[in-house]
Chains A and B, each alone.
Chain A
Amino acid sequence: MSGRMTAEQTKSAMQLVVSEMYDKIVKGEPPTMTLPVRTKNNIGFDRKLGVYKYGKNKSIRDATSLGSAKQLLRALHIIEFIEDMIDSGKSSTLREMYYISESWGLGKFGSQNESNNLAEDLEIVTKCLREDFKLRPEEDGARIIGNLTLQERNRRGEWMRINARDDVGDSGYGVPYNVETEKIEFLEHDINFLMAIETGGMFDRLVENGFDEDFKCGLLHLKGQPARSTRRIIKRMSEEWDLPVVVFLDGDPWSFRIFASIAYGAIKTAHISEYLATPSATYLGITSDDIVAYDLPSDDLSKKDIEALNAELSDPRFADSWWQDQINMMLELGKKAEQQSLAKYGLDFVTDTYLPEKLSELGLA
């Protein structure tokens, strides 16, 4: 895991980005910014870290087109903004930065997506984290229910001890955006594994059915594509408590991608995969076989679904034979199924039959 940088390290890393542009102009060249190619074609498995990282392909963003030139100018504004925040001990959300850019004249952003992406670019180029940049996401963090105890430092700077079964309501313990050790410490637990769940409906079903107590597990609601903090807390629990992690998602191409981002690293954040990914996580379901084996109500794959599946076939993260089989099988079936389609057999089917069967395959039930 990349160590956290000091304010001075962060600043000098950013100065290097600025110098690259400045020096090019002095040499009579168009200014440039060099960054890794951020596509599936440039991610590779890092044996040492056990996750997928960016490869050696670099792309040079140079100011020969208006779009790229504007990106460079925006990057300079962000760097200046971050330096100011570091110096004044402030932090801001990505959204706040987007609105602050209104006053950057030519360097203002067209959309928040642009500013988010550029902040990520800077993380990658400088090898800093956005926490080093004093930038916060507004991503919706996960919620957790189960017999596990941690302490979180509250706004007054005091540590609060929280048991995620006894001290929380039905919505569980809400994971904050910062889950590093200065904010959260893990204390103790009495669970055998952690189950990450895609949809709120399924999370609530398992909670209502008391699945966490019956199977001695922690339940974690991913809320769709999981936020960085969600992936980070899964990673920490898996490592620090040595817990197995199982992932229970819909059975469609997008769920496959969610799993890949949890287990192998996301393409967008491959520069910090070792910090976010949990290589030991297991895909529990819904698998392509489940659709057939449990005769689940299903929908036809859309054109976009099929495109996504085909793209996954050539994604290095899905290169192993199990994934290739699952993807090809879904393409052949032409069908996808939701987690909640299990309700076809009653509200308890998922907790009484499906999950026990699937978990026993893994030796967890």
Chain B
Amino acid sequence: MSGIAQKLASNQKQVAISEFFEKNKHFLGFDSPVRSLITAVKEAVDNSLDACEEARILPSIKVKVTKIDTKKDIIELVCEDNGPGIPQKSIEKVFGQLLFGSRFHAIRQSRGQQGIGITGVVMYSQLTTGKPTHVKSKIATESTAAVVDIGLDTRKNKATKSNSGRELWQLDNGEMKKHGLEVTTRMKAKYQKGRQSVWQYLRMTSIVNPHAEITFTDPDGEIHHWPRVTERLPGKVESIKPHPHGIELGQLQRMLTESTDSRLSVFLRTNFSGVSTRAAKELCAAAELDVKVKPKQMSPDQIRSLLEAFQGEKMFNGKPVKLLNPPTNCLSPIEEMLIKKGLSKTIDSRYATTMTRAPNVSQGNPYQVEVGLIFGGDMAGDKAVEVLRFANRVPLMYQQGGCLLTKAIESVDWRQYGLDQAGGKGVPKGPAAILVHLASTNVQFTSEAKEALADNGEVMEEVRKAMLEMGRGLRKHLEKKKKMAKTKEKFELINDILPAIAAKSAQILDKPIPDLAGSITKIMSAVICETSTEWNKETKTADVSIKIYNYTARARAYTMLATWPEKSGASMINNQTGGRKEATGVWAWKLETLQPGENITISYSLDGLEKGDWTETDVFYRGSQEIIGAMKMDEKYLEEIRNQEKILNELNSVNESQDSVEMESVAPTKIIEQPPIPEPAVKPPTGQSTLFGGDQ
């Protein structure tokens, strides 16, 4: 993570910036005119999003690309936001000094782990056009905006500042801008359309930032607008201390050197997450170090020994020292419902499913996987599905093939879920797009270019599991669609055609119209379920109706189950049929026996949702006779839900016991009731997570 930081810090003094830049432009993202523009947009937009998030402002971002000189490939880029703005005295530091800011020290999920930030853009512009970058910044407490041109003195390796002053910032509608930042820069760059373009970058950004409004004016003057689809800001992410399982030697050395603690045990307890007083003592014992050793004075051998104790190579009482998991509230998932909205606003499709897995920990680093799949609509059916990869809400646009996220998609046999896939390998084909988001405090990339995630077995398995579950959802959807079409036909048959046949034949023969009940039962000879999920404008609820008809010659008894967005904070109201909670997001109703020819309707409303949040209800049944229009309850499906519940519960209790950080209401860690069915006895008696520790 700190590779570039160190490199830059150590090189800064000796090497001229221009030389450094030239040498490292491939991983700084400025290796081609096309990519340079995307990188510049990315740095500016990431800064805006991060700034808005910190200031709790709903971001409105405008990006404009203009061709200045097509022969020499000179482009002007203007990025404007409505963020808090930067105080005048800090502008120079933010834009002119490498590594300004605190992001490399704190451990938390942040966008800005990639590249060297906006400074790189200033450098690139200066080096390719000789022009400084114009910055306009207004903070809420001042009446005018600060303006300044920031350039770089490549010989002195220092930022230069010119034309600084103050001016009024008036908007197009005549009003004064309250706060925000505008960056105008000219650089050698090329604008291109397609999968790797500014347009695609902004589109992807908009998907994973549903709270942001993004407007893009391309060089042809065409305006692309991605609206805000939620007023909810992402949960505030908390910084956490490093976890012993995720620390490297260099970092440990630095921490020890900088420590003012007088005892190693205190140092361990206060500088790391997951280390209790007991664990601190045990770590010292395992490393064969005295708890009273002064951290600052430890020898390289002692440090190495401590690291080995961290990694479980040196043991305590024959076992690696048991550590608590780090808290996961430092992660900021987008959440299922919002991913669905983000996807749906950018891609027109018939079916969308999304899933946020419970947070997990790999090598001391909390991470969380989110996936989404949309299907149908206008998407091409004969091409590879679009893969949308994200790390900490940042789109990954290059090196798709070498990325862990792609590999996880490729590891699934999608044919069984209704997509084409040659030989069951590779990226599947079909009218679909698959989204994968990895949120983590420490995203491991394959290279400094930071475009592909490095292999990690645990993360891979987590993504794969999510893919399989989405695949099952897609298959269910396709099967349901097919069955619904069939059911619709059957209803048309018995409601319209059969009565017409009876009436017409009676008329021709001049006989009375016969009774149809017998024929209907024979024709249908099935139990049929019709489900509708409709948005009710007046009550602002999603109204669900599940109607079951028994068109067989025998009495039938069922338990019906339906999915509902409990995790997203919906509540079930007006549920006349009662029933009980089966698992998180699954309600169950045990129905009275249905006599032949009878039908029954379950109806309820879902409150606390917005329009479009919930458009399809999955209905399941338990019972012997198949129900057309509902799925037989797959107990594995319930089991998976309960597993996730369990993990959430455990993580939650870890987070609570360890430190009492205030949780945002949107964090996915609220306490969930235990499901009514007893858990298998795989839980360790301490109630701690088994993700690492003694059991492995």
Binding site for B on A (CB under 8 A): 15, 18-19, 21-22, 24-31, 63-66, 69-70, 72-73, 76-77, 79-80, 83, 105-107
Contact = CB atoms under 8 A, between A and B. Distances in A.
B500 A73 contact: yes
B508 A15 contact: yes
Nearest to A14: B508
B496 interface: yes
B508 A106 contact: no
A25 B519 contact: yes
Nearest to A19: B509
Given A25-B518, A76-B508, 4 more contacts: A21-B501, A24-B519, A83-B508, A106-B497
Contacts of A30: 519, 522-523
A22 B518 contact: no
Given A22-B514, A66-B497, A69-B501, A28 B522 contact: yes
Nearest to A69: B497
Contacts of B490: 66
B504 A80 contact: yes
Contact of B501 (A27, A63, A105): A63
B554 to A, nearest CB: 15
B168 to A, nearest CB: 69
Contacts of B54: none
Interface residues of B, number: 25
B492 A22 contact: no
A216 B505 CA distance: 57
Task: Specify which of B498, B504, B517, B521 lies most central, judged by the most chain A CB atoms within 10 Å of its CB.
Answer: B504
Nearest to A62: B523
Given A15-B508, A66-B497, A29 B489 contact: no
B493 A63 contact: yes
Contacts of B505: 18-19, 21-22, 25, 31, 76
Task: Specify which of B490, B492, B501 lies most central, judged by the most chain A CB atoms within 10 Å of its CB.
Answer: B501
B488 to A, nearest CB: 9
B9 interface: no
B632 to A, nearest CB: 23
A44 to B, nearest CB: 33
Contacts of A83: 508
Contacts of B504: 73, 76-77, 80, 107
Given A69-B498, A69-B501, A31 B508 contact: no
Task: Specify which of A24, A29, A65, A69 lies most central, judged by the most chain B CB atoms within 10 Å of its CB.
Answer: A69
Contact of A28 (B492, B497, B498, B517): B517
25 contacts: A15-B509, A18-B509, A21-B501, A22-B502, A24-B519, A25-B502, A27-B518, A29-B522, A30-B523, A31-B519, A63-B493, A64-B523, A66-B490, A69-B493, A69-B498, A70-B497, A73-B497, A73-B500, A73-B501, A76-B501, A76-B504, A77-B504, A80-B504, A80-B508, A106-B496
B516 interface: yes
A76 B497 CA distance: 12
A101 to B, nearest CB: 13
Contacts of A72: 501
B506 interface: yes
Nearest to B491: A66
Nearest to B512: A26
B519 A66 contact: no
Contacts of A31: 498, 501-502, 505, 519
A79 B508 contact: yes
A12 B129 CA distance: 95
Contacts of B516: 25
Contacts of B498: 25, 31, 63, 69
B511 interface: yes
A66 B489 CA distance: 6
B523 A63 contact: yes
B137 to A, nearest CB: 67
Interface string B473-516: 00000000000000001101100111011101111110100101
Contacts of B511: 22
Contacts of A64: 522-523
Contacts of A15: 508-509
Nearest to B505: A22
B501 A28 contact: no
A72 B497 CA distance: 9
Interface string B175-206: 00000000000000000000000000000000
Given A28-B517, A28-B519, A28-B522, A66 B501 contact: no
Nearest to A31: B501
A76 B500 CA distance: 10
B489 A22 contact: no
Interface string B644-673: 000000000000000000000000000000
Nearest to B506: A22
Given A26-B514, A66-B490, A66-B493, A107 B500 contact: yes
Given A25-B502, A80-B504, A107-B500, A65 B493 contact: yes
Contacts of B496: 106
Contacts of B497: 63, 66, 69-70, 73, 106
A28 B523 CA distance: 10
Given A18-B509, A69-B493, A76-B508, A28 B518 contact: yes
Contacts of B506: 22
Contact of B500 (A22, A27, A29, A106): A106
Task: Specify which of B492, B496, B517, B519 lies most central, judged by the most chain A CB atoms within 10 Å of its CB.
Answer: B519
A29 B514 CA distance: 11
B519 A29 contact: yes
Interface string B516-551: 111101110000000000000000000000000000
A225 B424 CA distance: 47
Q: Closest 3 CB pairs between A and B? A: A28-B518, A66-B489, A22-B505
Given A31-B501, A72-B501, A76-B508, A65 B517 contact: no
Contacts of B493: 63, 65-66, 69
A69 B511 CA distance: 20
A15 B521 CA distance: 26
Contacts of B523: 30, 63-64
Contact of B492 (A18, A66, A77, A80): A66
Contacts of A21: 501, 505
A25 B489 contact: no
Contacts of A27: 518
A18 B505 CA distance: 6
A270 to B, nearest CB: 28
Interface string B147-159: 0000000000000
B509 A22 contact: yes
A357 B110 CA distance: 92
A31 B493 CA distance: 12
Given A76-B508, A83-B508, A25 B500 contact: no
B482 to A, nearest CB: 14
